[in-house]
C-alpha cells in the first residue's frame, strides 16, 4: 500500500468522545458514550441492528448533531470542520451511474482535495484497474465497492469511517479491506469500522453498542 504512506502530510488527530447521547425519532440509541482513540488505533464497532452504529459514524463525520455530549479532535481546532480530515464510506458508494469508474473516482479526488492523477494507481491498488473505463452501472455490487475503496487512496486523509466495509465483497476483497485498514493504522491514521467481521488486527479497540435494555 505505497499510496497510504503519503499520509504524513496531515497530522493524524486523536479522537475524544464524551457523554454522547443521540435519539432517532423517539428512541434513545445511546447515552453517556465515551470513546478515546489515539493516532494509529483501529476501533471496531459492533452491536445488534438498529443500535446506532451507522448513526454514531454519521455523528463523528459531522453529518448529524448529537443531542448531548461532545466529539473532539486534537490537535484539530474546533472551528475547522472535521469533514476535511476524514473519509466516510457508508451504505452507498458515492458513485454516479452514467460515469466511468475513472471519472467517478477522479471527481471525488478533486472534491476531497486529493490528486485526480492518482486515480489510475488507486484503482489498480484495489484491483479495479480493468474496470476504469466502464460505466459504474454495469459493475456488480462487489466491483462497485472496490471502486469506492479507491476513494480512500486518491485523497489521503488521516481518519477513516467505514460503515460495513465488507458488504458484497468476495474473499479477496475482504482481505484487501483488512490490508487497507492495517496500512492506514500503520501509517498513523485512525480507523473506525462498523462491522461484525473479524478485523484480525493487533491493538484493536472494541466498542459494543446497545446492551440489553435496563
Partner 1 sequence: MNDARPTSWLQLANPAVFNRWADRLLWPLVIATLGLFAYGLYGTFFVSPADYQQGNTVRIMYIHVPAAWLALFVYAGMVVSALGTLVFRHPMADVAQKAAAPLGAAFTLVCLITGSIWGKPTWGTWWQWDARMTSVLVLLLVYLGIMALWRAVDDPLRAARAVAILTLVGAVNLPIIKFSVDWWYTLHQPASVFRLDGPTIHPSMLKPLLIMALGYLGLYLVLLLVRMKTELTLRRIDRLQRLAAGIPGERA
Partner 2 sequence: MTGWTALLLRDLRLARRVGAGAELGLVFFLILVSLLPFAIGADQRFISRIAPAFLWLAALLATLLGLDRLLQADEEEGVLDQFMLSGTPLELLVLAKALAHWLVTGLPLSLVAPLLGLMLAIEPQAMVPLALSLLVGTPALTLIGLIGAALTVSLKRGGLLLSVLVLPLTVPTLIFGATLVKEAALGRPYTTPLMLLGGMTLLMLVIAPVSAAAALRHARQ
Residues in touch with partner 1 (CB under 8 A): 21, 23, 25-29, 31, 48, 50-52, 65-71, 78, 210, 213-214
| From 4, 22, 42, 86, residue interacting with partner 2 (rule: CB under 8 A) | 86
| From 40, 69, 90, 124, residue interacting with partner 2 (rule: CB under 8 A) | 90
| Interaction between residue 111 and partner 2 (CB under 8 A) | yes
Angle at 105 between CA 102 and CA 107, to 5 degrees: 105
| From 106, 128, 139, 162, residue interacting with partner 2 (rule: CB under 8 A) | 106
Could you give the CA distance from residue 146 to residue 144 in angstroms, rounded to a whole number?
5
What one-character DSSP code corresponds to residue 6? G
Contact between 207 and 60 under an 8 Å Cβ cutoff? The reply is no
Tell me whether residue 153 is exposed, middle or buried, using C-beta atoms within 10 angstroms of its C-beta: 0 to 12, 13 to 18, 19 or more: buried
34, interface contact from partner 2, partner 1, none, CB < 5-8 Å by kind: none
CA 110 from chain centre, in angstroms, equals 18
| Interaction between residue 164 and partner 2 (CB under 8 A) | no
Using only C-alpha atoms, the chain has a radius of gyration, in whole angstroms, of: 17
Contacts with 202 (C-beta within 8 Å, 6 or more apart), sequence order: none
Could you give the CA distance from residue 171 to residue 144 in angstroms, rounded to a whole number?
15
- Minimal distance, residue 157 CB to partner 1, in Å: 21
| Interaction between residue 98 and partner 2 (CB under 8 A) | yes
| From 36, 97, 172, 200, residue interacting with partner 2 (rule: CB under 8 A) | 97
| Interaction between residue 113 and partner 2 (CB under 8 A) | yes
Could you give the CA distance from residue 196 to residue 175 in angstroms, rounded to a whole number?
15
| Interaction between residue 12 and partner 2 (CB under 8 A) | no
Of residues 90 and 120, the one with the C-beta less far from partner 2 = 90
Under the rule (CB under 8 A), what is the footprint of partner 2?
58, 61-65, 83-84, 86-88, 90-99, 103, 106-108, 110-113, 116, 135, 151
Amino acid at each position: 500500500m505505497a499510496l497510504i504512506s503519503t499520509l504524513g502530510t496531515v497530522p493524524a488527530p486523536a479522537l475524544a468522545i464524551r457523554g454522547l447521547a443521540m435519539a432517532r425519532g423517539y428512541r434513545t440509541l445511546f447515552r453517556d458514550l465515551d470513546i478515546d482513540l489515539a493516532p494509529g488505533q483501529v476501533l471496531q464497532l459492533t452491536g445488534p441492528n438498529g443500535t446506532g452504529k451507522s448513526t454514531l459514524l454519521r455523528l463523528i463525520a459531522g453529518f448529524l448533531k448529537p443531542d448531548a455530549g461532545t466529539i473532539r479532535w486534537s490537535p484539530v481546532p474546533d472551528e475547522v470542520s472535521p469533514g476535511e480530515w476524514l473519509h466516510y464510506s457508508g451504505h452507498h458508494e458515492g458513485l454516479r451511474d452514467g460515469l466511468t469508474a475513472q471519472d467517478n473516482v477522479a471527481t471525488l479526488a478533486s472534491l476531497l482535495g486529493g490528486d485526480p492523477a492518482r486515480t489510475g494507481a488507486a484503482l489498480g491498488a484495489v484491483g479495479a484497474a480493468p474496470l476504469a473505463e466502464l460505466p459504474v452501472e454495469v459493475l456488480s455490487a462487489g466491483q462497485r465497492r472496490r471502486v469506492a475503496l479507491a476513494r480512500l487512496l486518491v485523497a489521503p486523509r488521516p481518519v477513516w469511517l467505514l460503515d460495513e466495509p465488507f458488504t458484497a465483497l468476495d474473499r479477496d476483497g475482504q482481505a484487501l479491506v483488512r490490508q487497507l485498514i492495517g496500512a492506514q493504522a500503520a501509517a498513523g491514521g485512525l480507523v473506525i469500522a462498523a462491522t461484525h467481521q473479524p478485523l484480525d488486527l493487533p491493538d484493536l479497540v472494541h466498542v459494543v453498542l446497545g446492551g440489553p435494555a435496563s
